[in-house]
A and B are shown apart, each in its own frame.
Chain A
Amino acid sequence: MASKKSSAAHNSRRPKANQAAPKQSSRNHQPTCNQRTYEILDYRLERPDFCIEQVGDGDQVRYQVRGDLTASPPPIRESRYLSRAQCLEIYRWMLLNRRMEAALENLYKQGKVVGGVYFGLGQEACSCASAYALKADEWLGPMIRNQGSLLVRGFSARDIMMQYMAKAGSPTGGRDASSHFGDIEKRNVVAPISTLGDLIPVLAGVALGARLQGRHIAVMTYIGDGGQSTGVTYEGLNFAAVQKLGLVLFVENNVWAYSTPTAEQFLCRDLAERAIGYGIPGVIVDGTDACQVYDAAHEACERARRGEGPTLIEAKMMRMKGHAIHDAAAYVPRELFEYWTRRDPIARFEGFLLEKGWLKVEENRRLIAEVERALEQDRDYAVNSPMPEARTAVGGVYCDPGCHDIKPKYAMPRHKARKPTSTGKASAAAVHLK
């Protein structure tokens, strides 16, 4: 696995020889509280390098891509951890993810969907292989394009379809749309809100709550190349870092934030480099390679479970449709679609499995047919299910007495009071004002 050395700019920040740390004996080594992580791991087998710029073209301004887009995709990188059975499971989730979204698009065109549809086309490996690394009692915070991760966590295609069709039987009873749902009981999923980055401190807090109950768990959430620009992203990840909370953050760099390309979103070369600024490990993976995604996710989750804190994983890929169904993505240079279509995560993984002999052609056909059958059933169920009754719009704003019995999920916190004193006296301190 190649590792990406820090650039010359970072080298200048390394301690010089005559400023090296004093020699420490291994027996009484006193570590500093803070850490430096200059090494950014890069698991990719290719390093696409292209630049998207605005150009004035006659009397039209458009985006133009510069760079070599002729390369063929490399093979899938062998996973260090996944067995054949696990690979087939991930592959099936990716198939279901893809076909479910195709079904949603059809439902939209039939006028059965309320509002818009958001697609994770081209990002299925990232959604599915990442969530696959979590344990059942760990938590996930999906973003709008991570519908595959919801399937991995145990929601069904019908749950998601009913959300889009605003049905009474949807996980939110029609009260919210798309992937804005969750489950605090069994599947441990935190529902997102529409503003970006807000899940990050929340998932950090989930890990904090678990730690207060004696458990180091991995928690996982995502943020886009656009979303990571928000302040709350910084606040949340910095908090997780300094508190060493087991947050596995997938930065899904899919090149486009609505119509804004990465060249207009940030200046740094790779978003994984931001890990250096937080003092945490950073990894770059090819987001269209399910094995790379899983490996990075697995390692980060294990780190989290050892209490070593968060990891930032940048998954590079491209959003293969517009921002939502209404957006034809006419602003995307066609060459980019061609380049990334050759890197379709499902086609790549399918080829990998067939070539390894882990999947036979006939098996594959059966698997795809089974996925289609299950989807058809879910689709019919969802389409035929009722809309919510109007008066169910009210109620449930507050958790009234008897509504929820809130108990610690992992264990009752066992804290020993350090001093058996009663409340001490508050000293009369002058008001301090910033």
Chain B
Amino acid sequence: MPQTTYLEAIRQGLWEEMERDPTVFCIGEDIGIYGGAFKVTEGFVDHFGPERIIDTPIAESAIVGSAFGASLTGMRPVAEFQFMDFIGCAFNQITNMLAKAHYRWGAPAPVVLRGPSGGGVHGGPFHSQNPETYFINTPGLKVVCPATAHDAKGLIKSSIRDNNPVIFFEHKFLYRRIKEELPAENYVVPLGKARVAREARGKRQIGVITYAAMLYSALEAAELLAKESIELEVLDLRTLLPLDHQAIAEVVRKTNKVIILHEHPRTGGIAGEIEAIINEEAFDDLDGPIVRVAAQDTPVPFSPPLEEYFLPKVEDVVREARRLAAY
């Protein structure tokens, strides 16, 4: 059966939405004839035309601002950041112009901001970041981080159809490494809903709450731990804002011991927010401290041995699961 890569799934989702809805258009750097730095929009300009696939100057504030302006006339722009590391260049437009528009003056901003994020590709400090948490504390935004090809396609479609500004973080490590068989029929994946990627069976269960590339580290750890009769229940968050409180509480209810695993640095990471939610909504179900497995509190280093040290490892998950299981 045909296998679709994570990247190809995003392309398909974007293509299908552009076919379905003439108000959808793409804007970003090198997305036209070049097809995008990662080729996500390869072939798009040939089919949809340069009016709808717009190559911009290197000006992230203008890319986001003009996308918002177009959305005020009823268009649905999909703006690409060549690397999500550059999202800082548009931080003010995103958090002050877009995020507050509906609350302040009743103007929806149906804009999707998408691009490659994440490390493990020897990209160094400015091509490997996970900037998603910079936006969690901004009411009005939505933050989406798919881990599977299936979800990448379904979530890009939902994000485009959503009337709010959605920041869609694609994990570049997964672009061509993940291949799945996708449903033939048209489908969407809802925003704000997590998915249980692996169900735990048996007596000793540990919950792992994670997303994006770290999902695969959790699944790999699960295979190893299963041999020691420690079962991981792995929850793929899929959306970071809004978080699926119900799914998070359900994992705690079921397993009573939880690890939160994320690729961005430990301090101020999403684990803190999730731990607070668990504290407020599922404290009585806990049989042990909530454990964080996260990256080092440093910028992403470049040299392979340094980056390997920086990133959370499968062994970290295994070690913490054993420790929690014994608690």
Q: Which residues of B contact A50 (CB under 8 A)?
A: none
What distance in Å separates the Cβ of A425 from its nearest Cβ neighbour in chain B? 8
Contact present for B66 and A236 (CB under 8 Å): yes
What distance in Å separates the Cβ of A281 from its nearest Cβ neighbour in chain B? 20
Q: Which residues of B contact A194 (CB under 8 A)?
A: 96
Instruction: Report Cα–Cα, A192/B117, bound state, in Å.
Output: 31
Residues of B74-108 contacting chain A, CB below 8 A: 74-77, 92-93, 96-97, 100-108
Instruction: Report Cα–Cα, A174/B46, bound state, in Å.
Output: 48
Contact present for A201 and B62 (CB under 8 Å): yes
What distance in Å separates the Cβ of B55 from its nearest Cβ neighbour in chain A? 10
Q: Does A419 contact B (CB under 8 A)?
A: yes
The stretch of B5-13, B194-202, B265-273 that contacts the partner chain? B5-13
Instruction: Report Cα–Cα, A414/B49, bound state, in Å.
Output: 12
What distance in Å separates the Cβ of A220 from its nearest Cβ neighbour in chain B? 13
Instruction: Report Cα–Cα, A200/B64, bound state, in Å.
Output: 11
Instruction: Report Cα–Cα, A181/B101, bound state, in Å.
Output: 10
Instruction: Report Cα–Cα, A396/B164, bound state, in Å.
Output: 11
Contact present for A398 and B47 (CB under 8 Å): no
Instruction: Report Cα–Cα, A193/B100, bound state, in Å.
Output: 9
Q: Which residues of B contact A171 (CB under 8 A)?
A: 105
Give 13 new A-B contacts, CB below 8 A, not counting A212-B52, A424-B42.
Answer: A172-B104, A175-B104, A180-B105, A184-B107, A201-B63, A208-B69, A209-B72, A210-B73, A212-B75, A239-B56, A400-B163, A418-B47, A427-B39
Residues of A216-240 contacting chain B, CB below 8 A: 231-232, 235-236, 238-239
The answer, among B12, B56, B67, B73, for a CB contact under 8 Å with A409, is B73
Contact present for B176 and A428 (CB under 8 Å): yes
Q: Does B299 contact A (CB under 8 A)?
A: no
For residue A139, which residue of chain B has the nearest CB?
B72
The answer, among A207, A232, A403, for a CB contact under 8 Å with B163, is A403
For residue B19, which residue of chain A has the nearest CB?
A417
Chain B interface, number of residues (Cβ within 8 angstroms): 71
Q: Which residues of B contact A195 (CB under 8 A)?
A: 92, 96
Contact present for A416 and B62 (CB under 8 Å): no
Instruction: Report Cα–Cα, A432/B82, bound state, in Å.
Output: 10
Contact present for A409 and B74 (CB under 8 Å): yes
What distance in Å separates the Cβ of B17 from its nearest Cβ neighbour in chain A? 12
For residue B40, which residue of chain A has the nearest CB?
A426
17 A-B contacts, Cβ less than 8 Å apart? A139-B72, A175-B105, A180-B105, A198-B93, A201-B66, A205-B71, A206-B72, A211-B51, A231-B61, A396-B102, A399-B163, A413-B22, A413-B23, A417-B48, A419-B46, A424-B42, A434-B126
Instruction: Report Cα–Cα, A241/B61, bound state, in Å.
Output: 15
Q: Does B57 contact A (CB under 8 A)?
A: yes
A178-190 contact mask (Cβ, 8 Å, vs B): 1 or 0: 0011111000001
Contact present for B49 and A399 (CB under 8 Å): no
Q: Does A213 contact B (CB under 8 A)?
A: yes
Q: Which residues of A contact B59 (CB under 8 A)?
A: 201, 235-236, 238-239
Contact present for B47 and A212 (CB under 8 Å): no
Contact present for B66 and A193 (CB under 8 Å): no
B247-289 contact mask (Cβ, 8 Å, vs A): 1 or 0: 0000000000000000000000000000000000000000000
Q: Does B306 contact A (CB under 8 A)?
A: no
Instruction: Report Cα–Cα, A193/B109, bound state, in Å.
Output: 15
Contact present for A202 and B57 (CB under 8 Å): no
What distance in Å separates the Cβ of B283 from its nearest Cβ neighbour in chain A? 25
What distance in Å separates the Cβ of B176 from its nearest Cβ neighbour in chain A? 6
Contact present for B163 and A418 (CB under 8 Å): no
Please provide the 4 A-B residue pairs with the shortest distance between their CB atoms, ordered closest to farther. A205-B69, A201-B65, A205-B66, A209-B73
Instruction: Report Cα–Cα, A428/B35, bound state, in Å.
Output: 12
Contact present for A212 and B105 (CB under 8 Å): no
Instruction: Report Cα–Cα, A360/B94, bound state, in Å.
Output: 52
Instruction: Report Cα–Cα, A190/B66, bound state, in Å.
Output: 12
Q: Does B178 contact A (CB under 8 A)?
A: no
What distance in Å separates the Cβ of B189 from its nearest Cβ neighbour in chain A? 16
Instruction: Report Cα–Cα, A232/B73, bound state, in Å.
Output: 21
Residues of A148-198 contacting chain B, CB below 8 A: 171-172, 175-176, 180-184, 190-191, 193-195, 198
Instruction: Report Cα–Cα, A171/B65, bound state, in Å.
Output: 23
Contact present for A190 and B72 (CB under 8 Å): yes
Q: Which of B25, B52, B105 has the most CB of A within 10 A?
A: B105
Q: Does A17 contact B (CB under 8 A)?
A: no
What distance in Å separates the Cβ of B62 from its nearest Cβ neighbour in chain A? 4
Q: Which residues of B contact A397 (CB under 8 A)?
A: 102-103, 139-140
The answer, among B43, B49, B97, for a CB contact under 8 Å with A416, is B49
Q: Does A423 contact B (CB under 8 A)?
A: yes
Contact present for A431 and B38 (CB under 8 Å): yes
What distance in Å separates the Cβ of B117 from its nearest Cβ neighbour in chain A? 13
Chain A interface, number of residues (Cβ within 8 angstroms): 71
Residues of A380-434 contacting chain B, CB below 8 A: 396-401, 403-404, 406-410, 412-419, 421, 423-429, 431-434
Q: Does B168 contact A (CB under 8 A)?
A: no
Contact present for B48 and A426 (CB under 8 Å): no
Contact present for A236 and B52 (CB under 8 Å): no
Contact present for A205 and B65 (CB under 8 Å): yes
For residue A231, which residue of chain B has the nearest CB?
B61
Q: Does A41 contact B (CB under 8 A)?
A: no
The answer, among A201, A206, A235, for a CB contact under 8 Å with B73, is A206
A349-383 contact mask (Cβ, 8 Å, vs B): 1 or 0: 00000000000000000000000000000000000
Instruction: Report Cα–Cα, A181/B29, bound state, in Å.
Output: 32
Residues of A226-271 contacting chain B, CB below 8 A: 231-232, 235-236, 238-239, 242-243
Q: Does B37 contact A (CB under 8 A)?
A: yes
Given contacts A209-B73, A433-B127, contact A172 B105 (CB under 8 A): yes
Instruction: Report Cα–Cα, A423/B46, bound state, in Å.
Output: 11
Q: Does A90 contact B (CB under 8 A)?
A: no
Q: Which residues of A contact B123 (CB under 8 A)?
A: 431, 433
Contact present for A236 and B61 (CB under 8 Å): yes
Q: Does B131 contact A (CB under 8 A)?
A: no
Contact present for B49 and A418 (CB under 8 Å): yes
Contact present for A404 and B103 (CB under 8 Å): no
Contact present for B74 and A406 (CB under 8 Å): yes
For residue A236, which residue of chain B has the nearest CB?
B62
For residue A210, which residue of chain B has the nearest CB?
B73
Instruction: Report Cα–Cα, A383/B124, bound state, in Å.
Output: 59
For residue A194, which residue of chain B has the nearest CB?
B96
Residues of A296-355 contacting chain B, CB below 8 A: none
For residue B73, which residue of chain A has the nearest CB?
A209
Q: Does A203 contact B (CB under 8 A)?
A: yes
What distance in Å separates the Cβ of B258 from its nearest Cβ neighbour in chain A? 28
